[in-house]
Amino acid sequence: MVRHRQYDACVIGSGAAGGVVAAVLVAAGWDVLVVEQGEHVPGGTYLHDLIPGFETARARTLEGEWTEEGYPWTASCVGGGTRFYAGVSLRLREVDFDASAHVAPDALPPAWPFGYAELRPHYDWVERRLGVTSDGGLDPHRPSPPHGLLPAHRQSARGAALAAAGRSLGMSPFPMPLAVASRSFGDAPACTDLTTCTDYACPSGAKGDVYRRLLEPLSAEPNLTVRTGLKAVRLVADRAGHVRELECLELGTGRRESVSARRFVVAANAIQTAALLLRSRSEFAPDGLGNAGDLVGRGLCMKVGQNLTARLAHDLPEPPPASGGRYVTVAMTDHYLDEDCPTGLGGLILETAPLDPAERADPRLLRLECLMADQPMAANRVRLDWSTTDGHGLPRLVLDYRPHPVDLERLAYLRKRAEELLTAAGAVEVTAEPMDCTLGSGHLHGTCRMGTDPRGSVCDPAGRVHGMRNLVVADGALMPYPGGVNPALTIQAVAHRVARSLVESGPR
């Protein structure tokens, strides 16, 4: 067993949350080790080329049948999901911080332990550091006006057609805020429309992923060490309330290592974070760390959503490019709060570009996505099957998730509104693409919910695991309610708040 020096902090995961935490702690002078199981991916890599190497999970299909093909990742690499994301950077809405009036009676309490005003400065920090573009002040539900952001991107041909259709229905389309530079920004060039951004590691640096914006610029700092190909296996407690070290597995060699640190920050994505706490059983925590109340892993939220493709009667007014352009340039929040939608809470409608090049060049094809929060349910959970092991000899990861019937009704309502929009844009045929969110999702939240009452939460509002002195969660696992917009900006703002609280909590 190899041992290292004792770091001030060990951050597990280098994605949206871990990248932010590491950047804050390193800037504060802490000696930081980032443990990342993935590798560096060169610019120009497609996500689908990496996926076959990712571990799978046991999961349920939409019909409830078990399969071994669950996907417990956003992406596993330095930078995590942000390396491949589309850069959509929306803030949660005020209602998302307390949706109590809008959830099903059998849902877990959805209220966050703090409101939007508390998170606002942390959103500001992330937007400034990543280089997020403005919505032009046109998003009617944005909780505070955009300030100091990069100019909005030009609408795509499809975005312009959707926006015109939306306006004809009295809706308020707006430019989607993106962490994709619309003009040169720091060392980053303006985006030159190489691809659709999503599922692709940007080679130019125009996309504000956490590797390019936060970690790479710190790579020469003596107080940051990033270890790749190293899987966090188990946090080892040496007494009640205290983690002494992290057991790791070097994936290339199968060698075991132990990492020692004063603080441990788990930011591995809401599924893997819960799995790590559950694997960390000991005499001091027989059911896993932070799990005395059987809450770790529960409340898994993966959102409900669906893409719709429309065939138009006429060509788009402007021909779409066969390649390049952004994945999404236009969004609408008109049905976010909608009393006709079951529970009164609808969701977001956003343009999505076809990824297939032939479809992309098709001037009669429009595509959009309906996206909504899902109910936080105790029964929807990450758990471990200790009777079966995976390729590393670890207990099998299980995603036990079924969509709530009310969420399927809400989605049907939003789909109807989206179909009306597509019809107004000239659609003669609309096809709903299959839903597969139960097998995994890029939108992961809720498995180590934060709250003030240890009986109803795993972590306190600063991310500290209740009852633990040196263990903190920093990713979407903390979110008691996911909200209905894409999550990365909020996950990063929460991570920034957690990291600032660590720095302010005193000597490292």
| Span 152-211, contacts to ligand FAD by CB under 6 A | 198-199
* Residues in contact with ligand FAD, shown as a per-residue x/- string from 21 to 40 under the rule CB under 6 A: --------------xxxx--
Helix (H) or strand (E) holding 121: helix 116-130
Task: Report how far residue 18's alpha carbon sits from residue 465's, in angstroms, rounded to the nearest whole number.
Answer: 17
Pick from 9, 50, 60, 81 the residue near ligand FAD by CB under 6 A: 81
With the C-alpha atoms ordered 86, 124, 115, 383, is the resulting torsion angle positive or negative? Answer: positive
Nearest CA to 127 out of 492, 501, 497, 502 is that of 492
Whichever of 342 and 497 has its CB closer to ligand FAD, that residue is 497
Whichever of 236 and 424 has its CB closer to ligand FAD, that residue is 236
| Span 41-60, contacts to ligand FAD by CB under 6 A | 47
126-129, long-range: CB within 8 Å, 24+ apart, which pairs?
Answer: 126/20, 126/89, 126/489, 126/492, 126/493, 126/496, 127/89, 127/177, 127/489, 129/23, 129/208, 129/213, 129/214
Task: Answer whether 392's CB lies under 8 Å from 231's CB.
Answer: yes
**Cα within 13 Å of Cα(175), Cβ side:** 21
Pick from 155, 195, 272, 380 the residue near ligand FAD by CB under 6 A: 272
- Distance of closest approach, residue 350 Cβ to ligand FAD, in angstroms: 9
| Span 381-440, contacts to ligand FAD by CB under 6 A | none
The residues, ordered by sequence, that sit 6+ positions from 105 with a Cβ below 8 Å of its Cβ are none
Task: Answer whether 131's CB lies under 8 Å from 115's CB.
Answer: no
Q: Is 88 in the site for ligand FAD (CB under 6 A)?
A: yes
* Residues in contact with ligand FAD, shown as a per-residue x/- string from 317 to 356 under the rule CB under 6 A: ----------------------------------------
Q: Which of 69-77, 295-303, 387-395, 399-407 is the region at the interface with ligand FAD (rule: CB under 6 A)?
A: 69-77
Helix (H) or strand (E) holding 274: helix 270-279
Whichever of 37 and 306 has its CB closer to ligand FAD, that residue is 37
- Distance of closest approach, residue 143 Cβ to ligand FAD, in angstroms: 16
Beta bridge partners of residue 389, listed in sequence order: 395
Nearest CA to 192 out of 332, 325, 364 is that of 325
Range list of H helices, 11-115: 16-27, 47-50
Annotation says 335 is catalytic: no
DSSP SS3 for 114: coil
Q: Is 277 in the site for ligand FAD (CB under 6 A)?
A: no
- Distance of closest approach, residue 409 Cβ to ligand FAD, in angstroms: 25
- Distance of closest approach, residue 488 Cβ to ligand FAD, in angstroms: 3
- Distance of closest approach, residue 199 Cβ to ligand FAD, in angstroms: 5
Q: What are the angstrom distances between the C-alpha of 496 and each of 220, 308, 353, 463?
A: 22, 35, 31, 11
Number of residues near ligand FAD (by CB under 6 A): 42
Task: Answer whether 168's CB lies under 8 Å from 324's CB.
Answer: no
| Span 487-506, contacts to ligand FAD by CB under 6 A | 487-489, 491
Whichever of 3 and 48 has its CB closer to ligand FAD, that residue is 48
CA angle at 214 for the pair 213 and 217, rounded to the nearest 5°: 85
Whichever of 40 and 404 has its CB closer to ligand FAD, that residue is 40
Task: Report how far residue 40's alpha carbon sits from residue 482's, in angstroms, rounded to the nearest whole number.
Answer: 29
- Distance of closest approach, residue 76 Cβ to ligand FAD, in angstroms: 3
- Distance of closest approach, residue 314 Cβ to ligand FAD, in angstroms: 30
* Residue of 102, 443, 445, 466 marked catalytic: 443
Whichever of 89 and 430 has its CB closer to ligand FAD, that residue is 89
- Distance of closest approach, residue 188 Cβ to ligand FAD, in angstroms: 17
Residues that bind ligand FAD (CB under 6 A): 12-18, 35-38, 47, 74-77, 80-82, 84-88, 198-199, 231-232, 267-269, 272, 276, 442-443, 475-476, 486-489, 491
| Catalytic machinery residues | 443
